[in-house]
Structure 1
Amino acid sequence: MSFISYEKVIGNRWFVPAILCMSVIPLLQSTLFAQNLFVKALGEGGTDVSTSVIMTSSGSIVTTGYTWSFGAGSHDILLCKFDISGDPIWVKTFGGSYADDGYSVIETSDSGFVVLGQTSSFGSGSTDLLLSKFDSLGNHLWSRTLGADQPDYGRSVIKSSDGGFVVVGWTENFSIAYTDLLISRFDSLGNHLWTRVVGGLDWDYGYSVIQTSDGNLVVVGVTYSYGAGSADVFLCKFDLLGNLIWSRTLGGGGNDYGYSIAAANDGGFVVAGVTSSF
């Protein structure tokens, strides 16, 4: 299952990368009151999926995802830049002979981009977490993989206050049982600093991360190991050394999922997801 993210734009407009499994990536711009201003499509004969979108410091639009229409392998990471009207400036793919996916994109201080996802083409396992850096023209600069024999998945990346990167996802390599929530920190050159996992005897996932005003890190995800229901929203707070400060669950008797987190003005945070409990 894929989950889209979005970013607000100046002037009460939003850019949403819509997922469409009919060989196109539509880019939808709408006002605060959901009036469509444009819809653009990108794709050819295969399925093309957009998973994350940002507005750049120069006012353009950058999205990542994965494509079966272009590239070298089964499907490849897709990185696209559009102007403010939604017209493509450049389209880039990155990958090998097997499946490679992009799930989160951020702009870096040098006007380049970092994409987090996963790869079956590179690394040491069947699927490894993949962190890739691109320049302002979309040219690939470096990639780093994280994983071992079993699958590891990346879902969200942020730039930390020291100029490095923090990523979250989940792992089957370092887990107690099935999958554990994973958080890793890299420096600005992509060198791995540390990895921590949190989980129990069931499935646990990390989907989104923020750095809070106190400099610490808060991850939201889903846990089947803890909480009141089958699946509960999972919140974990870490310091910058990766030490777990606390963890919390939120849910009822049904299934509850946390997919996105944002900082609030009062020092707290807001979580969005799905519930069948409330």
Structure 2
Amino acid sequence: MCSKMFYLFLVFSLIGFRGFSQTLDIEWEKKTGKSGSDVFNCIIEDVNGGYTVVGSSPAVNRDDLDFCLVKFSAEGQIITEKIFGTESNDLSSGISQFVSGEYIAVGNSVLDAGKTHVFFLKADVDGNEVWQKSLNELENISVNDVFASDDGDFVTCGSVLVSEGFRKIWLAEFDNDGELLWEKTYGENVIEEVGSVKKLPDGGFAIAAQTAGEVAQESDLLVIRFNSEGNKIWEERYKMPKVNVRPECICCSPDNNFIVAGWYGTCMNDINSDNPIFDYDLFLTKISPEGELIWSKNIDSEGSEGGNTIAVRPDGKIVVAGKKETSFLGRVGTWLVLADSEGSILSEAVFPFNFGNDKVSEIISTSDGGLVLIGPGEMNLDLRNTDGWIKKIKAF
């Protein structure tokens, strides 16, 4: 493995709504909210038109959370809503679609004492259950996403607890019936937490992960590229001294490079203290197909903020979505940033929070040239006062 040290640089002050407010027109938006405990995690543009969202919602006649699958028309009308799950809290983390139009969704069943199992749901084109499985033999795995293949198999990725305090990257392929074909783990005896995985045009995968730094509370960015069989092509660790970095999304640009976004925490006191205080900013990093660092930007606004998801436009422009947690000017909420292909900020927009823990969980470019955003994302089991929401942005 080749190690590289770099410092994120080029600080921007993002004040105003320059240009972006003229193009960021909401076409429609919807909010669930009938239960007050709904979240939307992942979205795809459906092969049959419209959009399909997976999230979590209160179970019927039980005091736990189940998967929810919601199909929207292109105009934002709800076509169908389905609830699936076990008697544990089932938290969704990914959805993909087969060429047949069927769906595969993945997530985690959270058991007592914080243990997790992998949970799969396969649904037909109308969102009706084909089968569901809780893989009890695969303990303490937290899955992040899923990708369907043309032959009906699917690949999922996440992090597995291998011993107390240590996690490794986990990648596995399953057949059309949810039977394990192969699984592989990668990593050293440190904490390695998968932040995002992306399926590549050649059938392989790229993973952005957080890995432990040289001292406590410090973490570095780890990016690994695999082929379609899960064999590692290359692995690069990008050292970030005295920083806590959380990669949240990796995406491909039109020039075949990788864009990584996330949260970049600069320690404001002693990082080795019992209570280090971090000021978080958005970071953007561009990496070549061979793992070479092209550029990296630390985007510092007034307060703490970060990016959770990326949509790269056909012209190479980058849209990052996340949230502003604090702001000296009082502008907090779900956050959009538009950058050019070199990571220079063009403009931003902020939508007020709907409720506590609100954020953009995923953003996708749509076939009509617009965007779709969903939220609030990951469910806090101790905070059940949320509504799943979706916003469609007009073409620009």
TM-score when scaled to structure 2? 0.62
Pick one of 310, 314, 317 that aligns with 1:261.
310
1:170 Cα deviation after fit: 0.9
User: Unpaired runs of 5+ in structure 2?
Assistant: 1-38, 59-63, 268-277, 332-396
Deviations 1:12-53 (A, max 9, x none): 522111223623111122234443222211123211111111
Say which one has the larger Rg: 2
Ranges in structure 1 where 5+ consecutive residues have no aligned partner: none
User: Amino acid of the residue matched to residue 52 of structure 1?
Assistant: G
1:216 aligns with 2:253: no
- Please give the alpha-carbon distance, in whole angstroms, between the structure 2 residues aligned to 1:211 and 1:202: 25
- Which one of the candidate residues 182, 186, 197 is aligned to 1:157? 197
Distance change (3 Å), C-alpha of 1:193 and 1:236: same
**Residue 134, structure 1, aligned to residue 174, structure 2:** yes
Structure 1 residue 175, shift from structure 2 partner: 7.8
Matched, 1:116 2:157: yes
Match status 1:244 vs 2:244? no
**Equivalent residue for 2:347?**
none
1:39 corresponds to: 81
Distance apart, 1:220 and its partner CA: 1.1
Give the percent of matched residue pairs that are identical in Structure 1 and Structure 2.
Answer: 27
Q: Give runs of aligned pairs for residues 31-180 of structure 1, distance below 5 A.
A: 31-68=73-110, 74-94=115-135, 96=137, 98-120=139-161, 122=162, 126-172=166-212, 178-180=218-220
Worse overlay, 175-184 or 207-216: 175-184
Indicate the residue corresponding to 1:197 in structure 2. 237
Distance 1:97 1:30, change over 3 A: closer
CA distance in 1 between counterparts of 2:252 and 2:315 reads: 14
Q: Is the 8 A contact 2:99 2:150 kept in 1?
A: no
Give the Cα–Cα distance (whole angstroms) in 2 for the partners of residues 38 and 196 of structure 1: 43
Q: CA deviation at 1:246?
A: 0.5
- Post-superposition Cα deviations, 1:132-187, rounded to whole Å, max 9, x if no partner, equal 11123322111111222222111322222333211112111678962222211112
Q: Distance in 2 between matches of 1:171 and 1:12?
A: 39
Residue in structure 1 matched with residue 6 of structure 2 by the alignment: none
Gap change, CA 1:75 and 1:18, over 3 Å in 2: same
Letter in 2 for 1:223: Y
| 2:86 maps to amino acid | E
Aligned to 2:50: 13
Look up the SS of the partner of 2:57 in the other structure: coil
2:284 is matched with: 235
Offset at 1:210? 1.5
Counterpart CA distance in 1 for 2:260 and 2:219 is: 16
Aligned mates of 2:304, 2:319 — CA distance in 1: 19
Aligned to 1:187: 227
Q: Secondary structure at the match of 2:315?
A: coil
C-alpha RMSD of the superposition: 2.7
Point out which structure has higher relative CO (alpha carbons under 8 A, 6+ apart): 2
Measured after TM superposition, the shift of residue 85 of structure 1 is 1.7
Residue number among 10, 17, 30 corresponding to 2:72 in the alignment? 30
Q: Report if the CA contact (8 A) 1:230-1:253 is conserved.
A: no
Cα-to-partner distance string for 1:216-236 (whole Å, 9 max, x where unaligned): 11111111139xx92111111
- Give the ranges of 4+ consecutive aligned residues of structure 1 lying more than 4 Å apart after TM superposition: 122-125, 173-177
Distance 1:12 1:174 in 2: 48
Establish whether residue 272 from structure 1 lines up as the match of residue 321 from structure 2.
yes
Amino acid at match of 1:130: W
Change (3 A) 1:140 1:256: same
Q: Is the partner of 1:171 in helix, strand or coil?
A: strand
